[in-house]
Structure formats: structure tokens, C-alpha cells
Structure 1
Amino acid sequence: MASPCRPHVSFPLVSTSVLLLIPLSTRASTDVIPDRQWMWVTYPDYKFLTIRNDARMTLIRPSYNTKTDTLTITAPAPNSMDEKLEFQIPAHPSKEWLGENTEIVPATVWSTTTPAHCYSPTVTGSFNDFFGKEVRLVYKPPMSDSPRALVGNGSKKQIGRDASTCFADLFPVLVGSEKSIAELNERLEKAEGLNIDVRRFRPNILVRGTEAWDEDRWKSISLSAKPASNSPFPWWKFGMGKRGLDLDVVARCARCHVPNVDPESAEEHKRQPWDTLMKYRRVDPGIKFKPCFGMLCVPRGNGGQIELGMKLEVKATGEHRYIIGM
């Protein structure tokens, strides 16, 4: 089975707004925006902050300037309709820059602690006003000397190799299906006249052409071949590693209430899509009391580069059982 790869995206900062990317690389590169390598944390204990804590975090917007290779981070200023908070940082900071502008701190994601570069509040301090408390921004390089090892379904015991991620909840890549979000929206329309954007589920890669929920059985997939003819980005301009990407599909993505948050307004629906998903998407025997949407993946080898319109091929299928472990 083969399907075209649809727009794929990066979330440079955990739990903030999306940054549309064409193309995307899973390796360190000076031409590609990293995914979830920055994270807001509490201070002074450096515990991660997410939409689960504060739905307004989705109003934090990253943008990328290709000429200066910088990320600009903005958010609404408190008590103002027009003003905004803003700062800029290098999108690919050098070791020298990090040495001069950050310090190493123990950042906590779930129950694990990992070394991270913490930015000076002189750079990000205005965002204390947005959060209403003192916070810090931390960064983890993609080729870190202290990688955050995958656990559960992504552990070496399960996939036969060492693999890591930066600040993603669990795994480096999330794949979603257009047919699956369309099928869910049909149910939501009937239930509440509601139609939601797939961005609520925060996939990196969106696939067109498969049957709804066919992804539940994928075990190995490959992205390859020529990108769409209307893609304005020639593949050779971006990144490192081979063109294309092989992925182990290690687990279904068990969901919390984050998809109830509208990424544009930060308003949280009291019921949907959680209630509808709970009725028919509790499909994984390893985590029976959470609904599933999307598949969690781990790149093989040295990773690679993907672009809009690439062909997705399912190499292997089989059963999945979620292994709880953070």
C-alpha cells in the first residue's frame, strides 16, 4: 500500500503553536527547524509545562526567519488586545553561543530528568507575565551528549537499538491519517455539529489515501520517491542524511484531553473530541482507559529528510500493545 505524504509540521516549543515545514529532517541540520527541542519549565524546579497545565500555551507562536536562522517567539501580552510579548533566539545555536547565554539545568519531563540548556531570563523574562509566574525556557540539542533515552515501546529491549528524543512526550515522530480525522469529524458533526482541525492531535506527518484507522496495524513504514510537483522546495537544499525516511511504528498514541483545546483560541471544549473518542477508540489492550489517535514512530538508521508529496509505503503490519512507562 502506498499513499502520498501530506504537509508535515514541527512544534519547536513543547505545547505551543505549530510551525508548518516543508521539508522536515529527523537529523541535526542547519537548514531544518527542529521539533520539540525547546520547552517551558517552572522555576526553580525546572518541571515541564504543557497545555495540560495551561491551555493558553497554544497561543505562543513560533516563526522562523530563513535569512537570519532565528526563531521569533510571540504571545499575547496580558491585559492588552494589541500588544504582544516577543523574543528571538538562534534556531540552531552553536556550542559557543549556548556557553555564553545558557546554563545546564536538570529539566524534568514526566518522571525523568535530563540535562538541558536554560536560557537567561534577560532573554525570555517577559514571558513570566504571560504565565503569571516565573518560568524558564530550556533547550536540548538533537545530538546531545546526554540523550533522553526512549522507554516503554521504544526501549532497546523492544526495538533492538538505542533511541532517544528531546522534549517530546514519548517518541520523536507522530503520524496521523486524513481519513481517520475525517471519520472522527463525521461522528462529531452528528453528535454536536463540531468539526475539528487535525492540529489538535499535533502530528508531524499527515498521510492521505489510506482507509480510516488502517494505521492501527502498521509496524514499519517508509517515505520515499519524488515529492509533489507543486512543492517549491527542492530536497537537496535541506538537511543531512538520505532523502526519505524509514520508521518503526512502535505504538498507538494514547490520548489525554489536549485535543479538546482549540489551537487557535486556546478554548477547551468540555466534552469533545474526548467523549466521542472514548466511545470507540479504546482499542489498545495495553492502555484500555484512554482513546487512541495516531501512531508513534522511531526513525531508523541516521534518519532522513521528507517532503510534501512523498510516497508512504507500509512495509509491515501486526499487533500493537501499549507499554506504560515514562
Structure 2
Amino acid sequence: MVLITPKVILDEISPYGGELSISFPENSGCETFSIPLHPTGDVLEMWKRIGDVSMWGDSIDGYVCEPFAGPSATSILSRYFGKSVHLAFKGPNPRQCKPTDLFPNLKASARYQDGYPLLILSEENVQVLEQEIRRRIGQQGIEEKWATEKLEVERSVRSCTAYHYILTSTTHHGFTPLDSVQTLFYPEPGAFAEDDWDEIAVGSDLKVAAKAPGILVVSKCARCLLPNVSPETGIRDQAVPYKVLMKTRLGADPKNKWKPCCGCNGVPLGEGTITVGDAVMIRSLVD
């Protein structure tokens, strides 16, 4: 999955705002295909609608995507994965986010994100984890290569458009997409400072951020083994970063005391544009 490359190609002239291009490793034998970035109502009427995309036990609706031309996305993806797979575009039914202890009356929806629309993670967190990894080389299966290798973090803000889409098995085993990792730059608050944030705002500078829609920091993000998978090779490391997180971040969230937490889940209070290099304003802290 991580070896598939999605690319958003913007086009102001296109009735769809551009296209989403999907390409595969050179030796895969699978051809690149493109689908509308923002499908119009006419396009969606031609796509098959399904209602059993499964995520975290919930059934979610979607449309089976079709390329502009050539073989179907389903046939190409099924050939790549060796089983029947669809590329689905989120349907109109809202998918409600679960309330949290900090926001028990949370009214928010997501598309195909893991659980909440945004994940907030600072580069300071990553730097601290790298230091902890290097201190533990030779322990718990942490290999010598981590003396120089760095944790890989997405370096560009993904278009939220991408989360209209998900890969889903046609045999009804849902596929959970990667978290949205936003690497934003702001006055350094220190590692894991987001643990104490209640609401933030983002803008090109602090004046713009002051007027921007807020982002609620609704909960800490409990981690699984997925971050151990290299985005470059698709191979899962046996130790990094999960075992280090277990040593350094276990118990960060009393409600998830058996899982390590890194980063926080966010819910935007309105629409806006986020760009790498933007300033982050901390509007309020957790009581």
C-alpha cells in the first residue's frame, strides 16, 4: 500500500478542479490511472454507490471510482494487491466522530481519515524519539542502522481532498488509511506540548491565524504498529518506533493506559488552507 503514489494535480480550468493520479512501482506491471479530483454530480451518478465500506466496525458509504479512460481502477488495483479491491470516493452520509473525554458532546464528522479529520504532530516530538532510539541501539531489537537513520515524516501537507478516497477490499475487509501528518513550523513549544492544547489556529502569520477557524485538540492519538512500516520500502521494522514509544509514551493518556500516544487528534471548526511554514497560534490550554 505504501508503495502506491497518489498525486493531486490541480487544474482551475477543469470542471473537477483537477485530478488524482495513482501510480505504482515500475516493476508492478500496473499502469498509472487518474480520476476526477472533485467529481461532479453527473460523474457520481455514473459511479456505483456502495454502503458497506468498513472502518472500525462502522459501515460507511462511498462511490466506486472510475478513471477518465482505460481499464477500471478496480481491475488495476486488484491486480496489484492480488485480491479484489475498489478505490472508493466518500458518499454523502456523514461519518460521525466519536466523542472524547475532553469533548463529550463533540459534533464532528470525518470522511475516510483514521478516526478524526486531523492529526497534530510536531517535529520536536520526532527529534526526541530519534534521540531515545539512538540511546537504545542494541536493545529490544533496535538495529545499528538507527544510529544514522531518521524517522520518516511526511514533509508536505496533504490536501484534505485525498481523504474523500479510500482503498477497500471488495470482500468487505476495510482498509484503514494512514494518519494525516502535518509538519508545520511555529515558535518551538517543546516536544509533546500538544498534549496540553485545547484549541489552536493556523495561518500564514499570527495575525491571520488569529482570525482563522479554530482547530479543537480533542484527544491524544494512541499508536499502533503501522508507523513501523517504511513509506519507502513497505517493510515493517521490528522495533522502531513502537517499542520506543512503549518505553517513553505509555500512560500519556490515562484512558489508553496500555497504548503509547504520540500526537493529538484535531477537529477543524471551519474550512481553510494550511501550508507548510504557517504559524500556529495556541488559543487555549486544557484545564
The TM-score with structure 2 as length reference comes to 0.76
1:276-318 deviation line (CA, Å, top 9, x unaligned)? 1100101110001111111101111x32222333221111112
Answer yes or no: is the 8 Å Cα contact 1:176–1:207 preserved in 2. Answer: no
Match of 1:118 in 2: 64
SS in 2 for 1:59: coil
Which AA in structure 2 matches 1:187?
Answer: E
Cα 1:175–1:207, aligned 2, differ >3 Å: closer, same or farther?
farther
Is 1:189 the counterpart of 2:124? The answer is no
1:7 maps to: none
Match of residue 71, structure 1, among 20, 23, 26: 20
Specify the alignment match of 1:102 in structure 2.
48
Q: Percent identity among equivalent residues?
A: 28
What is the CA–CA distance in structure 2 between the aligned matches of 1:158 and 1:247, rounded to whole Å? 16
1:166 and 2:135 are equivalent in the alignment: no
RMSD: 2.6
Of 298, 302, 310, 2:267 maps to 298
Gaps of 5+ in 1: 1-56, 228-234, 236-241, 320-326
Q: In the TM superposition, what whole-angstrom CA distance separates every residue of 1:239-296 from its partner, at most 9, and x where no partner exists?
A: xxx9733111000110000110111111110111111110010111000111111110
Q: Distance in 1 between matches of 2:179 and 2:61?
A: 27
Q: 1:90 aligns with which of 16, 33, 36?
A: 36
Deviation of 1:226 (Å)? 3.4
Q: Secondary structure at the match of 1:198?
A: coil
Equivalent pair of 2:184/2:276 in contact (CA under 8 Å): no
Higher relative contact order (CA 8 A, sep 6+): 1
- Confirm or deny: 8 A CA contact 2:198 2:216 kept in the other structure: yes
1:177 & 1:129 partners in 2: Cα distance?
37
Q: How many residues align?
A: 241
Going from structure 1 to structure 2, the CA distance change for 1:86 and 1:278 (only over 3 Å counts) comes to: same
TM-score by length of 1: 0.67
Residue 78 of structure 2 corresponds to which residue in structure 1? 128
Point out where structure 2 has 5 or more consecutive residues left out of the alignment. 138-146, 155-177
The structure with the largest strand share of the pair is: 1
1:111–1:179: structure 2 CA closer, same or farther, 3 Å change rule? same
